[in-house]
Every structure is written in structure tokens, then in C-alpha cells.
Structure 1
């Protein structure tokens, strides 16, 4: 149950952060549209929380294989781009295809989400420590939000974006960039 609460807090924080960032300098009808999107997001989180209270077994998963899939997915995409010189989309698609063929459901999804993170510019993910950190964050975030918004589009890309932004922030604070 605590994992569910943490996942809901993370999703709410990401949603509120995106909403707050988009509200800066916004007025008129755009403000109402963004507020409506925020309310829909909030209602979906509340309904998900109520559903998980009825079915707590839906939120189960194994963390270590998910972390490994995240690190492997981003490392394969990053290496395909930097060493083999493949285009970002081709590298991500190749990693996603191989993950779908050889890994079970959630592990394939984690590797595919990590491949999205691996599409980041080499100026953002400059070296292997950043790639490794981002892969771990993709795995952790995927593990925490795994049961949330099942069947909705955009979840894997959002996980990848959040992991890349968090890694860039961490390395900037630590002086690594």
C-alpha cells in the first residue's frame, strides 16, 4: 500500500509540476484548458487509488529485473547511437523490438521506456554514469507507477522524460555537467 501512495505522490508531483510550468504566463481560455486537464489528471489518480484499495495485488512487481531492464535498454540505445552511429529513432526502435521479442511484458515495457530516455541528446546524457543513473531512475519510476494508467498512451515517454530531467538535475547539482 505504501508503494501505491508513493507512486500516486510521484505522479501527482509530475503532473502538478508540468501544470505549474505551463501556467506561467498563461491566461484566458488556455488557463481554463490547462486547469481542466489538471482536474482530469487528479480525478484519474483518485479513481486509481480507490481501485488499488479494492485490489491491492495489482501493484505487485519485482524491482531488480525492472532495474536491470531499464539499465540495459538505455545502455543499448545509447551505445547504438554513440558507437554504431544509428539515428535515435532507429536505435530506440531496434531496442524496443528486441525487448518485445525476448523479454516478458513489464520488462519489455521498461526496456522500451529506457530506450526513449536513450534517445536524449549526447549533450544531455554525455557519459556512462549519466546513462546508468538514468536507466536506474527509469526502472524505479516504472516500478512505482507500474499499475497507474494501464492502457493509456504516453506513460513510457513520460517516465523517460522524468528520468532524464531528474538525472540532468542531479548531475548539475553535483557539478557533473
Structure 2
């Protein structure tokens, strides 16, 4: 159950940041930081809200996935790409543990990997579709 909650938290962090960034025109940095402060504050002030594992990991996942939402809708035209990249971020977070420590910010590195992966796969899919031939 904890894994499912972390996966949903990643999708939420990415989509909510993308929405604040592009629909409400707050900008990428403000949108991401607002999501991170709300998530971090919620679990800081209410640590007994969920179990200790989730209390520690959910704010990190939401903050890291919110980096994906910093993308502009001029580059990422489909919002589902942001949602899937948040999901991929959560999976990478769960599978790697501390592997990315020291890579200039592990959350940012994982966010970059997740959004580049989803964006690239969508781009390749469009190139290989029969309608583009």
C-alpha cells in the first residue's frame, strides 16, 4: 500500500506543479516550490498523519516530481506526459534508493531522467506511427 501511495504522490506532484506553472502562470520555480512547501509543511506539522516511512518519503517524492511540472507547455504539449513522468519518477525513486546521491541533486537527476524518458518515448512513438510515414 505504501508503494501505491508513493506512486500517486509522484503523479500528484508533477501534475499540480505543471498546472500551477502553466494554467495559473505562476512560473516553474514558484509552482514547484509552492508544492514542495505545502507537502513538506503538511508532514512536518502533522507527522502522525501517516506511517513514518510515508511521512519521510512523500514530501521528497512530491518535491522531486514537481520538478517535472516546471516544464513549459510550449515544449510539453500533452499534460499526460507530465503525469507519466511523475509516475516514472516515483518508480525510479523507489528502485534506486541512494544511488543518485552526489549527482548534483538526486531528486533533480531523477526528475530529468523521468521526463526525458517519457518525452523521448512519445517522440519515438509519433515518428514510428503509420500516419507519419
User: Which has more radius of gyration?
Assistant: 1
Count the aligned residue pairs. Answer: 116
Q: Deviations over 1:55-106 (max 9, x none)?
A: xxxxxx9321111110000111000012111011000100000110124221
Give the stretch that moved more between structures: 123-132 or 71-80.
123-132
Cα–Cα, structure 1 residues 124 and 62, in superposed 2: closer, same or farther, change >3 Å? farther
* TM-score normalized by the length of structure 1: 0.60
Per the TM alignment, residue 173 of structure 1 is displaced from its structure 2 partner at its CA by 1.2
Cα–Cα, structure 1 residues 142 and 124, in superposed 2: closer, same or farther, change >3 Å? farther
Q: Does 1:131 find its partner at 2:71?
A: no
Q: Which secondary structure does the structure 2 equivalent of 1:98 belong to?
A: helix
Please list every run of 5 or more consecutive structure 2 residues that lacks an aligned counterpart in the other structure: 44-54, 128-133
Match of 1:73?
13
Please list every run of 5 or more consecutive structure 1 residues that lacks an aligned counterpart in the other structure: 1-60
Match of 1:172?
123
**CA separation in 2, counterparts of 1:161 and 1:114?**
10
* TM-score normalized by the length of structure 2: 0.78
Match of 2:36?
96
Whether contact under 8 Å (1:124, 1:168) holds in the other structure is: no
Cα–Cα, structure 1 residues 106 and 164, in superposed 2: closer, same or farther, change >3 Å? same
Q: Which of 1 and 2 has higher RCO (CA within 8 Å, sep 6+)?
A: 2
1:32-111 alignment runs, 5 A limit: 62-103=2-43, 104-111=55-62
Per the TM alignment, residue 127 of structure 1 is displaced from its structure 2 partner at its CA by 1.8
**CA separation in 2, counterparts of 1:92 and 1:147?**
22
CA RMSD of aligned residues (A): 2.1
**CA separation in 2, counterparts of 1:151 and 1:169?**
25
Per the TM alignment, residue 124 of structure 1 is displaced from its structure 2 partner at its CA by 3.1
Q: After TM superposition, which residue ranges in structure 1, 4 or more long, deviate above 6 angstroms?
A: none
**CA separation in 1, counterparts of 2:57 and 2:26?**
26
